[in-house]
């Protein structure tokens, strides 16, 4: 049976009734599965290790980008979510450009990790704002997949749990910023990749699991 666009490109999973479902397994698949978790860590770690050895931003960026292309190709060959593979290569390519656009030393090399820092800041800000305006992003996401009723905001218990989970996710991005910003301003490009990977998608997978535990009694089976 051929895959739908949602399954092929985004890694979304369908239940027995043919509707897309939100589960830890489907969320893990959307980021490429276990291999995707490993894949996401390899380019930044390779960049940091290479830079730590040779202190050469151009060489480090080239190594990271080459690995990203190879790993992205492997993901597509293994019929994993296409969008995840493409986005990974584009992200590494942009990071490599930033890392080499200001020279070949550590002050330029640290910018390899600037897109990730900005992304974390935007997510933390956006999630927090969604809570402040009483439209927690996790609630909107679950309602989109019909995992909670469309009138969820009028239900105090649903509004409360989705608010807590949304703040929980905002906390993840703030933790990432707290761990990486001091290294960024200290021009520690060799350490940034190690720290980024340690609290990157592995932490993302953990947050998915913990969020599922918080929400499992709330989420309903799509009709």
Q: Is 44 a domain residue?
A: yes
Q: Is 9 a domain residue?
A: no
Q: Is 3 a domain residue?
A: no
Span 38-66, pLDDT tens digits: 777 889 999 999 999 999 999 999 999 99
pLDDT value of residue 202: 77
Domain tally, the chain: 1
Domain interval for residue 129: 19-215
Token pair belonging to 191: 């350490």
Q: Is 159 a domain residue?
A: yes
| Least confident residue range of 49-53, 75-79, 147-151, 177-181 | 75-79
Q: Is 71 a domain residue?
A: yes
Let me know how long the chain is: 223
Residue 185 pLDDT exceeds 60: yes
Q: Is 35 a domain residue?
A: yes
Q: Is 198 a domain residue?
A: yes
Which is higher by pLDDT, 36 or 8? 36
With tokens 């009138």, the residue in question is: 151
pLDDT value of residue 180: 97
Q: What is the pTM of this model?
A: 0.81
d(CA 151, CA 136): 13
pLDDT value of residue 130: 97
Q: Is 13 a domain residue?
A: no
Integer CA distances (angstroms), 41 to 4, 45, 111, in order = 28, 6, 17
Contact between 215 and 165 under an 8 Å Cβ cutoff? The reply is: yes
């Amino acid at each position: 049976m051929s895959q739908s666009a949602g399954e092929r490109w985004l890694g979304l999973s369908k239940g027995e009734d043919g509707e897309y479902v939100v589960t830890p397994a489907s969320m893990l698949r959307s980021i490429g599965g276990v291999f995707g978790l490993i894949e996401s860590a390899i380019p930044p770690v390779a960049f940091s290790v290479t830079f730590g050895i040779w202190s050469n931003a151009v060489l480090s960026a080239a190594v990271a980008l080459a690995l990203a292309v190879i790993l992205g190709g492997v993901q597509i060959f293994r019929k994993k979510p296409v969008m995840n593979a493409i986005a990974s290569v584009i992200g590494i390519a942009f990071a490599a450009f930033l890392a080499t656009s200001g020279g070949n030393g550590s002050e330029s090399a640290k910018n390899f990790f600037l897109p990730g820092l900005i992304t974390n800041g935007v997510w933390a800000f956006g999630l927090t704002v969604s809570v402040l305006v009483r439209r927690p992003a996790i609630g909107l996401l679950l309602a989109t997949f019909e995992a909670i009723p469309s009138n969820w905001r009028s239900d105090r218990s649903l509004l409360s749990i989705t608010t807590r989970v949304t703040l929980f996710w905002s906390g993840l991005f703030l933790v990432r910023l707290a761990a990486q910003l001091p290294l960024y301003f200290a021009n520690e490009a060799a350490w940034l990749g190690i720290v980024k990977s340690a609290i990157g998608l592995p932490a993302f997978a953990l947050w998915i699991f913990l969020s599922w535990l918080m929400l499992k009694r709330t989420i309903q089976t799509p009709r």
